[in-house]
Chain A
Amino acid sequence: QKEVEQDPGPLSVPEGAIVSLNCTYSNSAFQYFMWYRQYSRKGPELLMYTYSSGNKEDGRFTAQVDKSSKYISLFIRDSQPSDSATYLCAMRGFKTIFGAGTRLFVKA
């Protein structure tokens, strides 16, 4: 079993939809939780990071962590075609572990 599980998609939604991206994990030692966005042929860029359980909002993005369920989510409101990318979750305890990434397509 992988330490971090992430549905690879692809996920295709119409412009303006609310997008929900999720990861589950098995290691309870993870303390920091991150979401990265990676455009084609580019390096990942950090979108959101949270410490422990709770929600964090930044513009159209909301990151949610539920440590009791070992489940994290990223919500994108009013999705735009420019949000089309691969989204990677990442978690850090002693080391940083990345999910495999979910490919998102937002159709105009």
Chain B
Amino acid sequence: EAQVTQNPRYLITVTGKKLTVTCSQNMNHEYMSWYRQDPGLGLRQIYYSMNVEVTDKGDVPEGYKVSRKEKRNFPLILESPSPNQTSLYFCASSSETQGYQETQYFGPGTRLLVL
């Protein structure tokens, strides 16, 4: 079954405590990205990756890091979380054909609360 998995699904942490949210896809997709979803603001892209070792900033990259050492994995790292990073996070992956993004699959989401 084609899927994107994220872990953990729910996380409560405190300001400044480094955390990593993992994302993995089993579809051999080149393109992966991270979004955060906040009420009234919709989905905003944090970082994206076109392929292994190729990452770039999205619209709201401040306070986040990513890495793409393997095609299937794209972890999101919060080095020093702050309360304004409390949000619902989605990982997504898709294949690309000549720059045209095919079906994009989203993970189930990670709900993060930073106290």
Contact = CB atoms under 8 A, between A and B. Distances in A.
A99 B44 CA distance: 9
Interface residues of A, number: 23
B42 A51 contact: no
A43 B107 contact: yes
A88 B42 contact: yes
Main secondary structure of the interface of A (DSSP, over half): strand
**SS class of chain B's interface: helix, strand, loop or mixed?**
strand
B109 A8 contact: no
Contact of A98 (B4, B43, B105, B109): B43
A19 interface: no
Interface in A8-28: 8
Contact of B41 (A44, A90, A100): A100
B108 A96 contact: no
Contacts of A34: 104
Contact of B58 (A6, A46, A95, A100): A95
Given A46-B104, A92-B101, A96-B33, 16 more contacts: A4-B42, A34-B104, A41-B109, A43-B106, A44-B106, A45-B106, A46-B103, A88-B42, A95-B59, A96-B45, A96-B101, A98-B35, A98-B43, A100-B41, A100-B42, A101-B42
